[in-house]
Amino acid sequence: MEELVSSECIYNLLPCPEEPARRPLKYHSKQRKRVQDEWNSKKSSHKTMGLPKIEPPCPKHHLQKHSKEPKLPEREPYKVPVDGIKSSIPSEKPLMGLQTKKNFVEANIAEVRMSVPKKPVPIYVDTRRGNKNLLEPSGLLPTLLHRKGYGKIPDYIIKRSEKEKKAQEEYDAYVKERIRQGSMKILSEEERENVLMGLKQNWEELNHAFQGLSILIDTLSKQRHKEKLEAKMKKLEQDIDLIERHKFIYIPQN
């Protein structure tokens, strides 16, 4: 029955192609027999590195914990050098049980009476939980009041003031001499006020002209005119400030 089923397979109905006849090999290698022998010896799995030359490790002797760590040599018992110790021990025994007649209680009482009581360290508390800090290095005490040179003018300031005073005296003497010779004149208060009023009036005129400039300055002439007005106003402001700051003004005479 099985042969009938296998013979009646649908694949058997298809025509099978005929295999072409294989031609015999014309070339035969000299190493053919050696290659066949090596193949039959089952070395294909070791053809890269070859057969192992050492025996594989036994699975019973597996790697254990701390087995490859270096081991210290066994500790030998320590022997005390008796020769050195015997030489340092004194031959005579010290006297024990010595007594003294000192009264330690009275000595302690006298020492306490003669000692100076310790002063409390000043502190300050800056938190509600009682955090304490030293008061002296905090800067809250006026310690600078008690230093040696407190409240005295430094020497360099005294020397500087003396030099300024001497220079002012020399300048005043020079001005008086020039006035006496007639080569310098002091400006009176009335003349000073007139000059100051005239400078301010000139500044007002320039300011009025400056305010009257056009908003759009698109030409070179307009720009130059504006720059000239600004320079003149700045120069007048400097002269006005100079006259207002100095009460006495000296004018040289030709």
Q: Compute the average pLDDT of residues 144-167.
A: 89
DSSP class of 49: T
Please list the helix, strand and coil fractions of the chain in percent, rounded to the nearest 5, in that order: 50, 5, 45
For the beta carbon of residue 195, count every other beta carbon within 10 angstroms.
Answer: 15
Q: Where are the domains of the chain?
A: 152-181, 185-252
Q: Compute the average pLDDT of residues 15-37.
A: 85
Condensed to tens digits (0 to 9), the pLDDT of residues 182-193 reads 777 778 888 889
- 31 pLDDT higher than 60: yes
* Residue 253 and residue 180 in contact, taking contact as beta carbons nearer than 8 Å: no
- Lowest average pLDDT, out of 8-12, 214-218, 238-242, goes to 8-12
- Lowest average pLDDT, out of 47-51, 83-87, 133-137, 179-183, goes to 83-87
Average of per-residue pLDDT values in the chain: 83
Can you give the pLDDT at residue 76?
87
Can you give the pLDDT at residue 157?
94
Q: In whole angstroms, what is the distance from residue 168 CA to residue 248 CA? A: 14
Q: Looking at mean pLDDT, say which of 21-35, 59-73, 110-124 comes out highest.
A: 110-124
Condensed to tens digits (0 to 9), the pLDDT of residues 163-185 reads 999 999 998 888 888 777 777 77
Can you give the pLDDT at residue 2?
47
